[in-house]
Amino acid sequence: MKIHNYPYRPKPLLMAFSALLFGLAAYGLWEAAQTNDRGLVINRVFRFSSGEATIIYWCLAALVAALAGSAIAALLRGQFFPQRVTLTENELVAPRSAFSKEPTLLRLFDIQHMSIWVLRKKRSLKIVHFQGELAIHESWLPSAADFDELCHEIEIRHSEIVIATRQRMQAEAARRESGVLQ
């Protein structure tokens, strides 16, 4: 069987754009916190004094700055420490997360359940196995066609392994019953 090997990293342009966007938003919120002298009303339900509004702006600025930092970290991680997803005849090797140093080695036989979930038009393959869960995101593979091919190949190879194991177990059980295997 063919070994499938794909680079697995975030799209550099998307991460750079995200970092820029979140950085600008953080700067805007920081500026709002620095110069705030008014209260804040949210949906005519929540009313905050000038001091409380300043605290909210500072918290939002810190949160958005953290998002900008994570986008920069993902961009640098993808550029300087490339990761790969590899599918062999019996195993799948994939990163546990975006920032994990060691990949997860998963025997295809250990897969309990697979599903594809979609969040805002972005697909991810969720694999549940004995040691936990593993997610492979379409947007981190080179193309949607590669994602489709990988999902299809995992499903086929997993099915073949499960069928072969069941047949082997049935054959051993039949030998035991006939007294050939003691």
- What is the structure's pLDDT at 178? 80
DSSP line for 96-127: SSTT-SSEEEEEGGGEEEEEEEEETTEEEEEE
- Of the candidates 120, 63, 56, 131, the one whose C-alpha atom is nearest the C-alpha of residue 92 is 131
Supply the pLDDT for residue 175.
84
Q: How far apart are CA 146 and CA 101, in angstroms?
A: 23
Q: Report the candidate in 77, 121, 114, 115 with the shortest Cα–Cα distance to residue 98.
A: 77
CATH number assigned to the domain with residue range 83-178, chosen from the 4 options 1.10.15.40, 3.90.550.10, 2.30.29.30, 3.40.50.2000: 2.30.29.30
Is residue 180 pLDDT above 70, yes or no? no
CA angle 164, 167, 170 (to 5 degrees): 150
> What was the pLDDT predicted at 52?
93
Instruction: Say if CB 111 and CB 153 are below 8 A apart.
Output: no
Q: Report domain extents, the chain.
A: 10-80, 83-178
What is the average per-residue pLDDT within 52-66?
A: 96
Spatial contact of 92 and 154, defined as CB atoms under 8 Å apart: yes
pTM of the model as a whole: 0.75
pLDDT at position 71, please?
95
Residue 24: what pLDDT? 98
Residue 15: pLDDT band (50, 70, 90) is very high
What was the pLDDT predicted at 139? Answer: 92
